Amino acid sequence: MIIGYTTGVYDMFHIGHLNILRRAKEQCDYLIVGVSTDELVLHDKNKTPIIPFENRCKIIESVRYVDKVVPQMDKNKFGVWEKLHFDKMFVGSDWQGTPQWNGYEKQFAEVGVEIVYLSHTDGISSSLLREKLNEHGHMKKEYSIKDIQFCILGIIKYLDSFCKEYNIRYYLMGGSALGAMRHGGFIPWDDDLDVFMTVENYTRFLKLFEEKGSKEYFLQKENSNDWPLFLSRVCLNGTTLISDEFAHNMKQHHNVFVDIMCLYSAPDNEIKRRLQYYTAQLLRINALERANFPQAEWIKWVAMKISRIVVNRWTRKSLENYVHSFEGTNTVQVGHFYGRARYPQTNFMRKFIGSGTPRYVTFEDTQLPVFENVEDYLVSRFGERWMDMPDQKTRDQYPPHSNFVDLEKDYTEYMSKDKKSWIYKC
């Protein structure tokens, strides 16, 4: 039996895709098709497919020429052969003669695998279909991850100038700090940017930005009826960025944004530190419940419902006061306890901040601030090998925030008249 293998994205499935699969099946007895995951497409093409991975797999599975569908999670062709042991690999003729595929031909010849180049169907491709839909106004413009990053870069540049004008200190945090030090800018597959501020700077920033910030931006203040989470956002008016996790909160602003998180003092006593963390997480779970955050896991769904009872108008303030009660003391550790990170990764040594004066480093085409001892902070957050590029499995743990993006229209244009539902189409 001759086993064949071919791969593709198969987005917006068309006759060209069908012809390739038919021609491949004509030359083998059993055809295996690798369908590229959303994460791989994002990494390779800086955009997500219109049709989600699971649906694309179902479409290919329904084609009578296909015997088996497998996920294509990376471009390691030989690694796939070691698992599937196919006899022929089919690929588009536009790859023939390229250095990459000349190399594959030599590599696979050693194990007896034939590479077969198949011609494409003239006049049809997914790109042409998108262009035609755009021409007739049936499809919004596509934006790459680079487009989103460029928009975010504009926000952080304004935030930086505002903070310099009013002598407010802030620092890149988490993946944003990692991107600055490892990539000199954004992590290539990251579509957000986060900053830290100490309590004093955070409090001053919220007050001053609300009073004197440019009308081009909107300040989504933390712990409010519209945005109950414990972080604030500087949002760029006139843009749209809707994520699956917050799509059900119709009250918040769904613009492209920069997240601002407050650094709190953590007590030196281990038991009190844990109590501080768990109290903050209880408040976080309750905030997600109030924001209509979707939760598929039943245990987390139950926790959100229980938080509704435990955290109420009588107890909420007391719980918040406890989390913030260690301010004014020069504790050894600081942290932000309201995020997804688990204890003790929520905390780090105060000495990593240094004297408090930010250290400016290259970030894309500008300079942005990090902690004075940012390398020590990154070791504590990501481990000794933080400079190493992560594998695909690790990258997949950090999916894009954006489900629907329009950098030229405000999110309100995609809301129903009563502002209670979305009318956008991907």
Residue from 119, 118, 100 nearest 31 by CA: 118
At residue 119, φ and ψ (nearest 5 deg) are -75, 150
Structure tokens at 343: 């204890």
Catalytic site includes residue 157: no
What element of type H or E holds 234? Answer: strand 232-236
Catalytic site includes residue 47: yes
Residue with tokens 């408090």, as numbered in its chain: 356
Report the interhelical angle of 298-310 vs 270-290 (nearest 10°): 100
Query: Strands 30-36 and 3-8: what pairing?
Result: parallel
Q: Which of 25, 47, 215, 317 is catalytic?
A: 47
CA distance 189 to 394: 12
> Is-contact 371 176, C-beta < 8 A?
no
Q: How buried is 159 (Cβ within 10 angstroms: 0-12 exposed, 13-18 middle, 19+ buried)?
A: buried
Return the number of other C-beta atoms located less than 10 Å from residue 220's C-beta: 21
What element of type H or E holds 377? Answer: helix 374-382
For residue 113, the Cα-to-chain-centroid distance in whole angstroms is 38
CA distance 24 to 75: 20
Q: Which of 25, 45, 146, 212 is catalytic?
A: 45
User: Could you list the active site residues?
Assistant: 45, 47
